[in-house]
Amino acid sequence: MRKFWIALWRVVTFPFRAIWWLVSLPVRLYKKAFAFLTFEPEDRPIVDAFADTVKKPSALMGHLESLRKHLFRMLIAVAFGILLCATYTTQIIDFLAKPVGGINTLKAIDVTESVGVFMRVALLGGFAVALPYLAFEIWLFAAPGLSARARRLGLLGIPLAEVFFVSGIAFSYIFLFPTALPFLLNFMGIQTIPRPSSYINFVTGLMFWIGVSFEFPLIIYVLTLMGIVKPPTLARNWRIAVIVIAVLAAAITPTVDPVNMTLVMAPMILLYFLSIGMSHLALIGRKRPETEAS
């Protein structure tokens, strides 16, 4: 009989409890987010943490399980981004083909060539659309090991991931393509009729890697917050960095002429020195809580 009255009470009060749950949801989410953003983890050197992990490998399983969940959600976000961009892929391909006269200029040879081009553009577009959420998932995974200040700054820096990536894509489209494509399409006076697969693979590959290289200052900022990178080290090794950038530019640049290579190298070198400045800012933000604690 007691179970009957308990069940009846739950049925009668269910609408009121549901309304209260919905009304109190923002407050509970706010409290949970505030607690997550303000708690201070134990500050231990990375070497000590690595040594403890080697002694007790089972402690790593929790992190691997958390990483699996984050990667799964990131995969779902990319899938939604691909579905969204698939609706506008034809327009995107036409926009990408503007430097050579539009989508009607491209001449396909293989039967499945157009399908492969469609999927490649949808994949790149889906990644670009989902990038802010991907950065948010990476932040969620790394946040428990960061200080409260570094955690908040990292959260504010998530939109910058999209800004830097889109800036790299825009730089490729506005500055690099108008210089590289005329050289490539009329090299030695031989006119080239671009195929969809070769042209789109070339364009999207270049835009993707230039966009990724524009993320370098943000990556350095995060690594400095985590204590892995220090500004003096970056400043001392700037000559080595320039050589590495030259090698990367030679690999990314579609032509071997110095003009296009300089167009790729110049912003990458500027981004390297910008990353040194952002590393200094991250180091100041990392030291401030330590000074206040002492």
Q: Is residue 1 one of the residues assigned to a domain?
A: no
Confidence band for 79, pLDDT divided at 50, 70 and 90: very high
Name which of 283, 137, 144 is nearest 222 in CA terms. 283
pTM above 0.85, yes or no: no
Which pair of structure tokens corresponds to residue 101? 């006269």
Which pair of structure tokens corresponds to residue 172? 């490729």
Handedness of CA 159, 165, 169, 170 (dihedral sign): positive
**Report for 24-33, 47-56, 64-73: range of highest mean pLDDT:** 64-73
Name which of 221, 218, 225, 219 is nearest 289 in CA terms. 225
Confidence band for 45, pLDDT divided at 50, 70 and 90: low
The average confidence (pLDDT) of the chain is 77
Q: Is residue 176 one of the residues assigned to a domain?
A: yes
What is the average per-residue pLDDT within 16-38?
A: 75
Q: Is residue 87 one of the residues assigned to a domain?
A: yes
The per-residue pLDDT for 286 is 60
CA distance 217 to 222: 9
Backbone angles phi, psi at 202, to 5 degrees: -65, -45
More confident residue, 141 or 184: 141
Q: CB neighbours (10 Å) of residue 195?
A: 16
Name which of 264, 243, 242, 244 is nearest 179 in CA terms. 264
Residue 185 has pLDDT above 80, yes or no: no
Which residues have CB under 8 Å from 40's CB, separation 6+? Answer: 147, 148, 289
CA distance 119 to 92: 12
Percent pLDDT > 70 in the chain is 79
Q: Is residue 268 one of the residues assigned to a domain?
A: yes
Which residues have CB under 8 Å from 220's CB, separation 6+? Answer: 229, 234, 275, 276, 278, 279, 282
Residue 14 has pLDDT above 60, yes or no: yes
Query: Contact, 111 vs 195, CB < 8 A?
Result: no
The per-residue pLDDT for 250 is 76
Residue 73 has pLDDT above 80, yes or no: yes
Residue-wise pLDDT tens digits, 188-197: 777 777 778 8
For residue 173, the SS3 value is helix
Name which of 179, 172, 174 is nearest 203 in CA terms. 172
Q: Is residue 28 one of the residues assigned to a domain?
A: no
Q: Is residue 187 one of the residues assigned to a domain?
A: yes
Our count of domains for the chain comes to 1
Query: Contact, 221 vs 282, CB < 8 A?
Result: yes
Q: Is residue 110 one of the residues assigned to a domain?
A: yes
The per-residue pLDDT for 76 is 92
Query: Contact, 90 vs 103, CB < 8 A?
Result: yes
Residue 152 has pLDDT above 80, yes or no: no
Name which of 96, 80, 79, 83 is nearest 204 in CA terms. 96
Full domain range(s) for residue 142: 59-293
CA distance 217 to 228: 14
Residue-wise pLDDT tens digits, 204-259: 888 888 888 888 888 887 777 766 778 888 888 888 888 888 888 777 766 556 76
Residue-wise pLDDT tens digits, 92-140: 888 888 888 778 878 878 778 888 888 888 998 888 888 888 888 888 8
Return the residue matching tokens 């399409």. 185
Return the residue matching tokens 């960061």. 146
Name which of 75, 53, 77 is nearest 64 in CA terms. 53
The per-residue pLDDT for 256 is 58
